[in-house]
Amino acid sequence: MKTALRIVAASVILLGAVAIHGRRADAQAMVGRDIGTNRVSVDYYKAPPGRQDEWLALYKKYHRPIMDFQIQKGVTISSTLYATKSHSPGMPWDFVIINISPPEGEGPKLNMTRAEVIRKLFPDIEDYVKGERQRWALTVNHWDEDLVEIDVTRDPLSVYYPLDPPAKKK
């Protein structure tokens, strides 16, 4: 329990540092590390106390179909919803969604705008707008982070040394 709390506290501190110095941290972590690798985004959501199930129902009805459509088309590899296992004081999020997408420029193209996808999946656009408005009204805090995997087998292990793109597969 204490270890999990320490990990969450360290994550919150790290996220705060990234938010404050995001551009510089992003520039350091991105020196070639994201070339040819799957893209990972992490979305954090906080709902009002006692209303998490209502938020989940709205997510399932109005947002999850969009993610499932993207997975079906190969634009997104996976989208997994998580909830915290423990109850910690001051927890800044209730739900985390981890999305994995193919490397930039390597996955299939959707050939549809987000608006076109929404109109295709939700012909009753007024119901969709009402549901999304309600879901966002229940979202008291939200932020997104993009992650870059660090190859721990590289020598030296560093975010400062620039990496060359991986060799093209023949």
Rounded to the nearest 5 degrees, what angle is found at the Cα of 25, between the Cα atoms of 23 and 30?
95
**pLDDT (tens digit, 9 = 90+) per residue, 88-115?**
888 999 999 999 999 988 999 999 999 9
With tokens 């805090």, the residue in question is 141
Spell out the domains of the chain, with CATH numbers in brackets.
35-147 (3.30.70.100)
**Percentage of the chain modeled with pLDDT above 90:** 59
Please give the model's pTM, rounded to 2 decimal places: 0.76
Strands 78-83 and 95-101: antiparallel
Q: What is the pLDDT of residues 116-170, one digit of tens each?
A: 999 999 999 999 999 999 999 999 999 999 998 888 888 888 888 777 666 666 6
Alpha-carbon distance 23 to 37, whole Å?
21
